[in-house]
Structure 1
Amino acid sequence: MDYFPNSSEYVVVASTRSAVKVHCIEKDKHTWSNLKAHGRVPITALICIEDNRWATADERGVIK
């Protein structure tokens, strides 16, 4: 990902439409997105590895 939130006011979400988004909870505002993070393959997992390090996985087993 090109953007890593470093505060608890942000939430990172992934969708089966291959999108990864970051939202600011306090401001109720979308701050970053990659709408085709895995091309057209549905994302099936999003994990926080450590502070500011995230990984996603898709139905084909690709991890990014």
Structure 2
Amino acid sequence: MSSLHYPEKRDKIHEALELLFKGLGAKEAHEIFAILIKYLLIATDETPEEAEEKVKHLPRGGETVRTTAEVLR
């Protein structure tokens, strides 16, 4: 999580999100994923569009980012 504050290291977070889905069941992973995306959008300057692009290949990845961004707005 400390990588969130360093844009050059932020890709490691997206890699960790992929591992999350590989290591857990889809439902469990999605719950944790949603929390992490919320934190990422609040704590960094990454835009929802940037985050969505990086996680759209994950199950419900793009949808989760859009929904979270809407709630935060």
Normalised by the size of structure 2, how large is the TM-score?
Answer: 0.27
Structure with higher strand content? 1
Normalised by the size of structure 1, how large is the TM-score?
Answer: 0.29
